[in-house]
Structure 1
Amino acid sequence: MNNNLQVIEQNGQYLVDSREVAEMTGKRHSDLIRTIKGYIDTILTDAKLRSLDFFVSSTYEDNKGEVRPHYLLTKQGCEMVANKMTGEKGVLFTAAYVTQFNQMEQNLQNFSNLSPQLQQMICLEQKQNEADQRIGKLENNLGINAYQQTVIQKRINKRVYELVERYGEDAEGKRRMFSSIHRNFRDAFAVPTYKDLRKLDFEEAISWIGTWRPLI
């Protein structure tokens, strides 16, 4: 179980990603989503309450590039989720979100005591770090380049010929082996062809090819 909980700032609110909450509490994210939807339905029955004060609906892209729903929880939203939890996981989650939210609030207070010049410098540095993180994420999710495609192709060829020689396969056996490694590669990395591999998965793919064996 992950005991770290990251609090982010968005539009003046401190928020926690429901995926992190699910991981930390040992719940399936889909189950937590259903629970939060139930809370929102209940909140909406009271005209004095706003669901956005507890849960902010959002989306993200999974590893396949598909858009998935998730929620961003405010401190009140975390409290609502934590109140229904019992045992060690509930205690650890409560301790984590209280600690992190308090730290963020303390940081904000310390920031407000700084001179305007220092505040501006810190804001610029934070924006640069955020930009660098976004660029890094985009680069990692890009497909491999032409050179990396060639490397993958050569590693596949090398591995197949190694196994053909080891097992004494004939031309038909070699053809089946090529077909098998490409099929297994697509399944292992959830891509249409090796050319569609993510840059992030390149090193893992090289290692995978080096240990691949045909299923008997």
Structure 2
Amino acid sequence: MNMMATLNLRAMVINDNGQAKTTSYAVAQAFGKRHSDVLRSIKNMKCSHSFRERNFALCFENNKLQNGKPRKFYQMTKDGWMFLVMGFNGEKADAIKEQFIDAFNWMANKLTEVFQSNWARYNKAVGYRDNRKQQVSCSARDMNNWKHEKNPLDHEIAKLEEALQPQLNLVGGK
């Protein structure tokens, strides 16, 4: 069976607040492993506590098959994923690793494109606002028009500034 033909690894890499991530479910599916075996591999990794905290987030979801009993899984970064799958070997595993790396890089490029697009829109809006402000400041009759343009421009600029801010995920108020 050609597992690569049936998998879309790009769909297994998600955007989580601007960072490319995947899950232990995706790893199990891609490598043809039982999810419990992937969970055990994550649990048995010999990495530092800080690396584990940065790259593996323990999550839970309701298991509909067991009356809503929570089922755990991990969400992981590209670094976490790479650390986990380094031990997976064989020609098939190597091919899947390569495709997963391509999928992570594809998602990172998409996130960069969104950032650059927002940055370009931000610069255009700020430049336009500053030029219009200068133009209308000399003309009392244009001041009335400016009142209607200023608030939407300021609102768009504020939204873009928020989108361009880096997100800090602080755990436990540290």
Could you tell me the TM-score, scaled by structure 2's length? 0.58
- 1-side partners of 2:94 and 2:71: how far apart? 29
Contact 2:20/2:77 (CA < 8 Å) preserved in 1? yes
Residue 60 of structure 2 is aligned to residue 52 of structure 1: no
Map of 1:29-44 to 2, 5 A cutoff? 29-39=35-45, 42-44=47-49
1:104 has 2:107 as partner: yes
1:101: how far off? Answer: 1.1
**Could you say what the CA RMSD is over the residues aligned between the two structures, in angstroms?**
2.7
Aligned-pair CA distance for 1:74: 0.8
- Name the counterpart of 1:87: 90
Q: CA deviation at 1:21?
A: 0.6
Q: In the alignment, which of 68, 71, 75 is matched to residue 68 of structure 1?
A: 71
1:43-94 per-residue CA deviation (whole Å, 9 max, x = no partner) reads 22xxxx4312221111112232321010012101111122101113311321
Q: Name structure 2 gaps, 5 residues minimum.
A: 123-155, 161-174
Are 1:16 and 2:5 an aligned pair?
no
Task: Give me the whole-angstrom Cα distance separating, in 1, the residues matched to 2:64 and 2:96.
Answer: 26
Letter in 1 for 2:8: N
Residue by residue over 1:105-153, the C-alpha shift from the partner in whole angstroms, topping out at 9 and shown as x without a partner, is: 1112211221246xx79xxxxxxxxxxxxxxxxxxxxxxxxxxxxxxxx
Task: With a CA cutoff of 8 Å and minimum separation of 6, indicate the structure with the bigger relative contact order.
Answer: 2
2:7 paired residue among 3, 6, 18: 3
Matched letter for residue 34 of structure 2 = R
TM-score by length of 1: 0.48
Q: What amino acid maps onto 1:95 in structure 2? A: E
Whether the 8 Å contact between 2:18 and 2:111 is mirrored in structure 1 is: no
Distance in 1 (alpha carbons) for counterparts of 2:108 and 2:47: 29
How far residue 95 of structure 1 moved from its aligned partner, in angstroms, is 1.5
1:97 and 1:53 mapped to 2: Cα distance? 20
CA contact (8 A) 1:78 1:97 kept: no
Instruction: Say if 2:23 and 2:74, in contact at 8 Å, map to a contact too.
Output: yes
The one-letter code matched in structure 1 to 2:71 is R
Tell me, in whole angstroms, the C-alpha distance in 2 between the residues paired with 1:51 and 1:63.
29
Q: 1:92 to 1:62 in 2, by over 3 A?
A: farther
User: SS of the residue aligned with 2:7?
Assistant: coil
Q: How does 1:199-214 map to 2 (within 5 A)?
A: none
Tell me the amino acid that sits aligned with residue 56 of structure 2: F
Measured in 1, the distance between the counterparts of 2:112 and 2:47 equals: 34
Q: Quote the Cα distance in structure 1 between the aligned partners of 2:85 and 2:95.
A: 10
2-side partners of 1:89 and 1:81: how far apart?
16
User: How far, CA to CA, are the matches of 2:64 and 2:105 in structure 1?
Assistant: 33
- Point out where structure 1 has 5 or more consecutive residues left out of the alignment: 122-216
Task: Give me the whole-angstrom Cα distance separating, in 1, the residues matched to 2:91 and 2:8.
Answer: 15
SS in 2 for 1:99: helix
Identity of aligned residues (%): 30
